[in-house]
Structure 1
């Protein structure tokens, strides 16, 4: 007896931005592998730079899908690119979860990365985000920076690598003008790529590694998927009635 679509376990489609940096691609692949070990079949798609695209991955699936946008804020890619790709795929059973950030998990991981870079309590921090032209994303960046400030008790300024202002170097310079002798950059980036590379020239006393692969991030992605899988199951239940 052939299974109906609604009887098949959903596949997690982890959607990332994309980068030409091999280490960044490897990190996303490693994240997908770690999440897949917990929740089942997991595929990776990218909205920019390289493929496969979300639409291409969704067209290959023979069962329901849960798309998890691996973005730290809900900007253009989350609000426009992902829905467009889902629609273009014509996949009949796709659930899209909310983006990964902002979330207190990231603040905790960023503190670990900062300490490894030489940061100590009392040192000022520049929260370095990719930037966006979407005010909703900028608001979420401010929320995430506030979480980091609350956790560290330090002065936290916001700087952007592209698109928005102030730039990361300008944010570092502003903190120094305010009398902070030691300023560290906290990378609010998921993986290595061009944006993270640019942080080395910001004039800070140290740059933390990207958030990267971390058990708490694996847990967060898994939780997003399970939320989406429950929505799939509820829809299937309603369809049977």
Structure 2
């Protein structure tokens, strides 16, 4: 088993790869997450350099970042994404496959810590016990990602002590407006949306038009998110360190 890197070792390059957004606040929050992650990794005694990268909308692109890294030095792509989807299974997987000494960590969810943040955001938005709650995920056609989103809804249900339904902003069903309408048809007086989204952007803007009584803010800003990324990195670190030996 490899030990964690010490300051005298070659650094571990952590490529913190987000989707990308045109939303200025969303960009600021993702950048702040990277800074929080660097602080978290340093507190854990890890000799790491955190790099910026994206799979869509923004630059620098993931492949160009990986290409520019020093040859032979270990790297892990850390998806700043909440579940498996096209970007993890295709974009990130393909980019990692072309570079030696490189691996990727898992996306952030499902994780009970995310459920705690979601519950706090719902309360801030006006949630009251007994409200119908819809967890709104970005959406994917990939089965593993859909299963992870469903598991996240179950974790939030446990956190709230009530049922939580799952819905998607795109690519999967039910769509969020349909889930809100179904909750009202079932007799719900108030329906709230738990936004299972990292930062403000296109999908979060659309949630305001789905007919819910309130929509929670995104998961960021929260130091908990950086801790979740660090956990996923710790899970992936051993294999890339052994590969680099």
Q: Distance in 2 between matches of 1:18 and 1:165?
A: 24
Q: Distance in 2 between matches of 1:232 and 1:159?
A: 35
In structure 1, the residue matched to 2:12 is 10
Task: Report how many aligned residue pairs link the two structures.
Answer: 230
In structure 1, the residue matched to 2:75 is 65
Question: 1:76-117: per-residue Cα shift (whole Å, max 9, x none)?
Answer: 111111011223xx4321121111111111111000000000
Q: Distance in 1 between matches of 2:67 and 2:186?
A: 54
| Aligned partner of 2:115 among 98, 107, 113 | 107
In structure 2, the residue matched to 1:50 is 58
In structure 1, the residue matched to 2:44 is none
Question: 1:16-59: per-residue Cα shift (whole Å, max 9, x none)?
Answer: 11111111111111000111122242112111112211111111
The normalised TM-score by structure 2 is 0.89
Are the equivalent residues in 1 in contact too, given 2:127–2:192 (CA < 8 A)? yes
- 1:24-35 aligned within 5 A: 24-35=26-37
| Aligned partner of 2:161 among 133, 146, 153 | 153
CA shift for structure 1 position 199: 0.3
Are the equivalent residues in 2 in contact too, given 1:124–1:180 (CA < 8 A)? yes
CA RMSD, 1 decimal: 1.6
Q: Distance in 1 between matches of 2:40 and 2:122?
A: 28
Q: Distance in 2 between matches of 1:85 and 1:233?
A: 18
| Partner secondary structure for residue 143 of structure 1 | helix
| Partner secondary structure for residue 131 of structure 1 | coil
Are the equivalent residues in 1 in contact too, given 2:101–2:243 (CA < 8 A)? no
In structure 2, the residue matched to 1:38 is 40
The normalised TM-score by structure 1 is 0.90
In structure 1, the residue matched to 2:91 is 81
Q: Higher mean Cα deviation, 67-76 or 225-234? A: 225-234
| Partner secondary structure for residue 103 of structure 2 | strand
Are the equivalent residues in 2 in contact too, given 1:131–1:163 (CA < 8 A)? yes
Are the equivalent residues in 2 in contact too, given 1:53–1:85 (CA < 8 A)? no
In structure 2, the residue matched to 1:3 is none
In structure 2, the residue matched to 1:137 is 145
Large movers: runs of 4+ above 3 Å:
none
| Partner secondary structure for residue 95 of structure 1 | strand
Q: Distance in 1 between matches of 2:216 and 2:175?
A: 17
Structure 1 alignment gaps of length 5 or more: 1-5
Structure 2 alignment gaps of length 5 or more: 1-7, 42-47
Are the equivalent residues in 1 in contact too, given 2:133–2:164 (CA < 8 A)? yes
